[in-house]
Chain A
Amino acid sequence: MAGEPTDETKCWKELLSGSKEAYAAIYGLHVKAMYRYGMSLVSISEEFVLDCIHDVFAEIWIRRERLTVPDNIRSYLFVALKNRILHLLKRQERPHMFVPQENFEDLWFESSAEDILTQKEESASREELLTRMVARLPPRQQEAIRLRFVENMDYNEIGQVLEVNTQSAHNLVFRAMEKLRGWLLAAFFIFQSGSF
């Protein structure tokens, strides 16, 4: 959503007709967010993420004559990056970095506020506490709130990246926020440590 969509679309069209400047401009507009997003998917291997971003952009250039203008460039690039990461991870003798969604969600047991707050003594700051709460959310919800609140994507775009419809994308964010609010309220009542 950031930037002027019309300018960006124009830029993309120039890229498709072979402009290296437009290509570099598109790169400059999106690479930081792609890096952030890529790093959130495969946590620590920076080199791997950079390789994948490289491949995504190289492929765009190579296939430019056959590409069209995507509805939303940011989510198009996120999807391309995620696919590249998955493709490379799968080629490694089918590991299960990302197991099927249904099974994956099951692995996350429901956390109660007490679970999180039992470690409160150690939590020096509010940021730490909130980070821990976010980390307790199921991974898809975490991904959805990153896209919604940090990348400022709308639900349509989030749906594209997560391969669900707009309503489901909204539900993921909604459920995450309900849970966070519940935990924050519990934290407030249990410890009287200030309003959320």
Chain B
Amino acid sequence: MDNTYEHFGPVDFVTDDQFLRHRLAPSANSEAFWAEYLGIYPHKKTEWLQAGELLNAVLLGLTSYSRTYLSEEEEAKLLDRILRTTEAHDADIRTQEAAPVKPLRESSGWYLRAAVAAAVALAVIATGYLAWRPKNSPQGRYAETITALESTSTVTRHTNKSAQPELYYLPDSSSVMLSPKSEVSFTSAYNQQNRSVYLSGKATLDVVPNAGKPFYVYANEVVTKVLGTKFEVVAFDDGSDVTVKVLDGKVTVYQNNVRNNGAIGAPKQSAILLLPNQLVVFDRKAELFDKRLVENPVSLPDIKSLPRFEYEDAYAVRFFEDIKKAYGVNVVYNPELLENCQFSAAFSDESLPEKLNVVCKTIGASYEIIDAQVVITTTGCKP
């Protein structure tokens, strides 16, 4: 051995490659080496043993890291996904080789992007038919929509022909209290990626929470996206105004017009967030929303108690509460879904959107600015 470790203290030992190789992955060689060493330099034994204790201490302190474990099942699933990607790539290469012209492809993830582009194009085609028809009369809009949907998929329609309100259950057990002369319908795609229902008339909907499958109600020109649970929509085909009233939970409401030609994706324009006991009326002639509610007064933040925006394994909820305090902006989120969401970050001069981007990306959430409020969408984090 060329190093006598003569001046080594515990910290020198515990950071020594040779020492660590022996302690972390011992071999017959390393056993022999250190046995011989301690035989020759018995006075280093104390430091050597202390180094071992230090190592145990740091390993204990790193338990949460070493315990982070990918299950066999997840491991197999991910491998499967990777292999499917490579097969898709290989198949594509073969096609390219057969084709007379080889397109030049630079970036590595191109096939993924191509796949995404294809999916987006399909969605636009599928919904474009609905969106691009001329907006003649507001009347008959529901019928038009249903006819269009029926041309591409199976539509289930339910009409309340009685004189009393009728309770109707959707496939996911969400319920619709349907008023007389009102109709609700949905396609076979209901409850796949999202839950879209089409409404004519008046209904109170009680939606089973499922963050992974947003719930949309299309009622004449108005689309209501459900974040919470219970709300009422009035949208008769007779040309009267459309109203949405929240009884419990939260919903966002926006106009379903030609500009928003993605009926499935949520259009960003003129979205309005409704909280319990708030009501919005859509004036069909003026095409305007009238939000009948008082904005919550925003108190200016007290400079002294401004949050520092430094987080270590902090709960996302704390960050959103800090945002509320510092910016006087309301942040709407479901605390139950964010229960297990933790993150680490330190901010200095970043803008509000920059901060939100970082934190949302880290916890796998997204956000929208609706009606001067930040609305967090998430499917939750694993504990």
Using a CB–CB distance below 8 Å, which chain A residues touch chain B? 1-2, 20, 23-24, 27-28, 31-32, 35-36, 39-40, 42-48, 50, 53-55, 57-59, 61-63, 89, 92-97, 99, 103-104, 107, 126-127, 130-131, 133-135, 139, 145-146, 148-150, 152, 154-155, 170, 173-174, 177-178, 180-181, 184, 195-196
Tell me, rounded to whole Å, the shortest Cβ–Cβ distance linking B368 to chain A. Answer: 15
Q: Mark B75-92, 1 if CB is under 8 A from A, else 0.
A: 100110111011001000
- Chain A residues near B12: list those with CB within 8 A: 174
B341's contact among A2, A44, A47, A196, by CB below 8 Å, is which?
Answer: A44
Q: How many residues of B contact A (CB 8 A)?
A: 62
Contact B78 A44 (CB under 8 A): no
Tell me, rounded to whole Å, the shortest Cβ–Cβ distance linking B268 to chain A. Answer: 16
**Complex-state Cα separation, A48 to B366, whole angstroms:** 13
Q: Mark B341-380, 1 if CB is under 8 A from A, else 0.
A: 1111111101001100110011110000000000000000
A54's contact among B11, B68, B82, B348, by CB below 8 Å, is which?
Answer: B82
Q: Which of B56-64, B196-204, B218-226 is found at the contact surface with chain A?
A: B56-64
Contact A40 B63 (CB under 8 A): no
- Chain A residues near B64: list those with CB within 8 A: 131
Given contact pairs A43-B342, A58-B82, A97 touches B362 in the complex (Cβ within 8 A): yes
Tell me, rounded to whole Å, the shortest Cβ–Cβ distance linking B348 to chain A. Answer: 8
Given contact pairs A43-B313, A95-B354, A104-B346, A181 touches B68 in the complex (Cβ within 8 A): no
Given contact pairs A32-B70, A43-B313, A150-B62, A177 touches B54 in the complex (Cβ within 8 A): yes
Contact A196 B364 (CB under 8 A): no
Closest to B93 in A: A62
- 7 A-B pairs besides A58-B109, A152-B25 with CB distance below 8 A are A40-B68, A54-B81, A58-B108, A92-B361, A95-B361, A131-B60, A180-B61
Tell me, rounded to whole Å, the shortest Cβ–Cβ distance linking A48 to chain B. Answer: 6
Contact B358 A97 (CB under 8 A): yes
**Complex-state Cα separation, A54 to B83, whole angstroms:** 9
Closest to A136 in B: B312
**Complex-state Cα separation, A48 to B347, whole angstroms:** 21
Given contact pairs A177-B14, A177-B54, A35 touches B108 in the complex (Cβ within 8 A): no
Tell me, rounded to whole Å, the shortest Cβ–Cβ distance linking A115 to chain B. Answer: 13
- Chain A residues near B79: list those with CB within 8 A: 24, 27-28, 31
Contact A36 B65 (CB under 8 A): yes
Given contact pairs A36-B65, A44-B362, A174-B11, A1 touches B25 in the complex (Cβ within 8 A): yes
**Complex-state Cα separation, A89 to B364, whole angstroms:** 12
Contact A54 B78 (CB under 8 A): yes
A152's contact among B20, B69, B341, by CB below 8 Å, is which?
Answer: B20
Closest to A135 in B: B312
Closest to B90 in A: A61
**Complex-state Cα separation, A43 to B20, whole angstroms:** 27
Contact B65 A150 (CB under 8 A): yes
Contact A149 B59 (CB under 8 A): yes
**Complex-state Cα separation, A5 to B112, whole angstroms:** 33
- Chain A residues near B82: list those with CB within 8 A: 27, 54, 57-58, 61
Q: Which of A2, A42, A43 has the most CB of B within 10 A?
A: A43
